Chains A and B, each alone.
Chain A
């Protein structure tokens, strides 16, 4: 927490606010003191402590999400200066270097319904994970014993995929993913690849392919490759898209001739 007394500089923040899921958005401007270590979450917290706009009006504090504060939970994902990123790991110092002299703009993600201010409803991602059976069947009514071994090489490929925190950055930046279509998006293709690789997830691989080749599936990828550029966890998303494309080619031939 930054005490106003300690700071010598301040920065202007423009926040796109929205009171209810169905109401219109509106912009509000705040002047916030900063320190060299400020990040966007810390600015939002400062505003919450004293929610007064730059023209001196007392307002309700902007609603926002933040949890881990170390870029592993994805809850504070928002659009900052026109680009999707996590508020906790976005340093104000860097933003000022990116666009010197201009205010910082903060908007909720545009591809998901807004609940309030900067909080969005990302349950579409969770629903999609369920559709592709993004899990592995484990013990049921009795112990299935130790699972098959995974080689270090497989693990080397799978671990980066497992880092996905479902923040939605890949979907926010994707020109093919919109609020009113059914596109599954890079997150799902990568998770499907992960579970198709997993020895215990393989039995459901065909069921996953049916979903991935259906409405809103791999067909709708336009290869802009924004996903891999904005992914905060450096997941090789476009490689996953290539893998799913290859699996779809093989599966479609297999299905055409033998199913």
Chain B
């Protein structure tokens, strides 16, 4: 200690008030950030599992139907359990990442420090990825802008159509920029999705590990190592699930002809919206069959098995 040098101290600036109200609020924000991350991570886990059913177009359509059967409640569920936690997590995460930290994984290349840095890097990657993902695949993204403005530039851009789940997902991920899958912009889309899935899985698994320390669940080095192994296993499982989901709609994805968005006499809002119109609902099996290239008969049987009116 150089307490004798206190007279020359250059850091004797404003003494921080360590027990300030600001600090207490910060403490709670940090803990809420952790909980929000757990909630959103749970959604991502379910999301990846559902999308891994994309291996089978019919199964995937059934899963999508289950979700959209929530009807008007879907928006409430999405906002409360997905978008609100995401917003809190992102806002605080950006603040914490930018709050004067000095990354030093080059000089101190320990595993923990590399993970610390990756957690922040994947967070930033995910911010870009999620912006693109939501804009192009969520009905509150470009689709909503199109519905409100009827902007011609968006009219040919593919987005997710729940009644043609498989084919529209392939279209929106593998070939959003023209039918040639080897076009550079299409390749970027496909690569961005793989990067996004892996970044999400890492961020989720590593976040589980650090959350346990933040809340004081794991204290000793051996407990942290043990829980670390569990998180690693969770990460590996979801990396596999996520990669299957990605492959289903990209390298294994087979594009199928999609009806034009206005083909069946309904506006895009009705088609994509959470509310099923009765005539459209009756038309679904045939339209679905059209989209993933199976016989209409199989589609009708599938819909019947799922307890849907045909």
Min CB–CB distance A22 → chain B (angstroms): 8
* Cα–Cα, bound, A225→B115 (Å): 10
Q: Return A6 CB to nearest CB of chain B, in Å.
A: 34
In the assembled complex, the CB of B158 is this many whole angstroms from the nearest CB of chain A, namely: 40
B23 neighbours in A (Cβ, 8 Å): 213-217, 219
Let me know if A217 and B116 touch, CB within 8 A: no
Given contacts A223-B213, A246-B216, A246-B219, contact A182 B18 (CB under 8 A): yes
A211, B221: Cβ atoms closer than 8 Å = no
Contact with B220, one of A216, A223, A239 (Cβ below 8 angstroms):
A239
B145-177 near A? 1/0 per residue, CB < 8 Å: 000000000000000000000000000000000
Please judge, given known A-B contacts A211-B19, A246-B215, whether A222 and B110 are in contact too, CB under 8 Å: no
Q: What residues of chain A lie closer than 8 Å to B101, measured between beta carbons?
A: 175-176, 178, 222
Best-buried of B18, B110, B113 by chain A (most CB within 10 Å): B18
| With contact pairs A215-B26, A224-B112, A224-B113 given, residues A113 and B216 touching in the complex (Cβ less than 8 Å) | no
Would B2 and A122 count as touching, CB distance under 8 A? Answer: yes
Q: Which residue of B lies closest to A125 (CB)?
A: B1
Please indicate the chain A residues that have their CB under 8 angstroms from the CB of B6 in the complex. Answer: 121, 123
For residue A175, which residues in chain B have a CB less than 8 angstroms away from its CB? 101-104, 113, 116-117
Q: How many residues of B contact A (CB 8 A)?
A: 53
The answer to whether the Cβ of A229 comes within 8 Å of any Cβ in the partner chain is: yes
Q: In the complex, what residues of B have CB within 8 A of residue A138's CB?
A: none
Nearest-CB residue, chain B, relative to A244: B216
* Residues of chain A at interface, number, CB under 8 A: 63
**B8 and A173 contact, CB distance less than 8 A:** no
Note all chain B residues with C-beta closer than 8 A to A211: 18-19
On whether the beta carbons of B18 and A245 are closer than 8 Å, the reply is no
Q: A236: shortest Cβ distance to chain B, in Å? A: 7
Do B99 and A243 touch across chains, with their CB atoms under 8 A apart?
A: no
Could you tell me the distance between the alpha carbons of A157 and B270 in the complex, rounded to whole angstroms?
66
CB distance from B11 to the nearest CB of A (A): 5
Closest chain B CB from A33 CB (angstroms): 28
Contacts of B8 in A (CB 8 A): 21, 115, 121
Q: Is the CB of A229 within 8 A of B110?
A: yes
| Interface 9-residue window, one of A49-57, A96-104, A247-255 | A247-255
Chain A residues near B15 (CB, 8 Å)? 127
At the interface, yes or no: A159 with Cβ under 8 Å from chain B? no
**Closest B residue to A213 using CB positions:** B27
Instruction: Decide yes or no whether B22 CB sits under 8 A from chain A.
Output: yes
Question: Are B216 and A247 closer than 8 Å at their CB atoms?
Answer: yes
Contacts of B110 in A (CB 8 A): 224-226, 229
Say how far A57's CB is from chain B's closest CB, in angstroms.
Answer: 28
B26–chain A nearest beta-carbon distance, Å:
5
Which residue numbers of A lie inside 8 Å of B, CB to CB? 21-22, 65, 74-75, 82-83, 112-113, 115, 119-127, 131, 166, 173, 175-176, 178-182, 184, 210-211, 213-226, 228-230, 236, 238-239, 241-250, 252
Q: What would be 16 A-B contacts, judged by CB atoms less than 8 Å apart?
A: A112-B11, A120-B2, A122-B2, A123-B5, A123-B12, A181-B100, A215-B16, A223-B210, A225-B113, A226-B113, A229-B108, A229-B112, A244-B216, A247-B216, A249-B216, A252-B28
Given A123-B9, A211-B19, A229-B108, 14 more A-B residue pairs with CB atoms under 8 Å apart are: A82-B106, A83-B107, A122-B1, A123-B3, A175-B113, A175-B116, A211-B18, A223-B214, A238-B213, A238-B221, A245-B213, A245-B215, A245-B219, A250-B216
